[in-house]
Amino acid sequence: MKRVKLITDSAGDVNKDLRGKFTRVPLTISVGDREFVDDDNLDLKELLRAMKESPEAPKTASPSPWDYLREFTGEDSVFVVTVSSKLSGSYANAVLAAEMARKEKDASFIHVFNSKNATVGQTLVTLKVLELIEEEKEEAEIVEEVNDYIENLHTYGFLESIDNLVKSGRVSKMMARLGSALNIRLVFGRSPEGTIALVDKVRGTKRAMQRLIDLIAETGSNLEKRICGIAHINCFEKAQQLYEKIRERFNFKDVIIFEASGITTVYGNEGGLVIAF
């Protein structure tokens, strides 16, 4: 029987049911002079506290090629899912590691998927690969089906806080004050190329959550065959409310709530919600 290994970087979100089902290669997060490793031991509340207290924007670093290479040795087949190549160097480093492993014959087959996603969108891509591995599909079938899945995946979310965007200079302090005064929430989505694009601006959290539901209705199809993932950044009750509204209105194959990774927490900040389907 073939030994098949599934690897992903830590930009995707997880829950307790997923831990141990695949290998996660962590990114790292720098907040001031502190460094956080985005693995299962990360204290998300401490990360949020550190970001709030720091006058500087947090910085992230992707896994090195050698971080990936260590995970390839001794397997027959290896599949890797990374955060969008437009958002991080993780994909490029995984591809470089795959090239090195092929030369050393560390694995007979290695394929690296550019998820063109982040957060829970990346998680759903990883789950799709896992599903096909468990069905014992051929390698070429897995690559074809997952690439098709990536192209048809929708990811949307909204920010409760733009504090890190202000610190990084991507949003001016004046715009931040105006947004706070008007109770504005930024709604974003994934572009086909894998970048993050502004979709809408709405007033208040309730309207932002309703906008996510409307986007499912506007862009979703064949929902009975698809999973909807919800990632929350330290706001489980809000995620549960969204879960119930989605369940009530749509007939997804399944709806799953995930806790945000450290990387999702950095860019989404506390209170943010992301959906993918």
Class of domain 155-276: alpha beta
pLDDT recorded at residue 179: 60
Tell me the two tokens of residue 103: 């030369």
pLDDT recorded at residue 106: 67
Q: Are 11 and 85 in contact (CB under 8 A)?
A: no
pLDDT recorded at residue 201: 92
Quick check: 207 pLDDT over 70? Answer: yes
> pLDDT higher for 163 or 210?
210
Measured between alpha carbons, how far is residue 98 from residues 9, 78, 86, 104, 123 in Å? 14, 9, 19, 10, 21
> pLDDT higher for 68 or 179?
68
pLDDT recorded at residue 183: 86
pLDDT recorded at residue 76: 79
Domain 4-151, classified CATH 3.40.50.10170, yes or no: yes
pLDDT recorded at residue 162: 77
Beta strands in 117-195, from DSSP E residues, in sequence order: 155-159, 184-190
Quick check: 117 pLDDT over 60? Answer: yes
Q: What is the mean pLDDT of the chain?
A: 92
Kindly state the percentage of the chain with pLDDT values over 90.
79
Read off the pLDDT band of 102 (50, 70, 90): confident
Write b or e for each residue in 57-89: b if 16 or more Cβ atoms lie within 10 A of its Cβ, otherwise e.
bbebebbebebbbebbeebebbbbbbbbbebbb
Tell me the two tokens of residue 102: 């092929």
> Pairing between strand 196-203 and 184-190?
antiparallel
Which amino acid type is present at position 224? E
> Based on C-alpha coordinates, what's the Rg of the chain?
19
pLDDT recorded at residue 164: 75
How many other CB atoms are there within 10 angstroms of residue 180's CB atom?
Answer: 11
* Numbered ranges of CATH 3.40.50.10170 in the chain: 4-151
Instruction: Report the Cα 233 to chain-centroid distance in Å.
Output: 12
Quick check: 82 pLDDT over 60? Answer: yes
Nearest by Cα to 269 from 124, 170, 153: 170
Quick check: 175 pLDDT over 60? Answer: no
The Cα 255–Cα 124 span in angstroms is: 11
Q: Which helix (H) or strand (E) holds 259?
A: strand 254-259
Express each pLDDT in 222-250 by its tens digit: 999 999 999 999 999 999 999 999 999 99
Q: Are 96 and 24 in contact (CB under 8 A)?
A: no
Quick check: 178 pLDDT over 90? Answer: no
Express each pLDDT in 211-224 by its tens digit: 999 999 999 999 99
Angle, helices 90-104/65-72, rounded to nearest 10 degrees: 40
Q: What are phi and psi of 254, to 5 degrees?
A: -160, 155
pLDDT recorded at residue 148: 98
CA 43-67-74 angle, to 5 degrees, is 120
Quick check: 68 pLDDT over 80? Answer: yes
Tell me the two tokens of residue 60: 């992230």
Average pLDDT over residues 127-141: 96
Instruction: Report the Cα 229 to chain-centroid distance in Å.
Output: 10
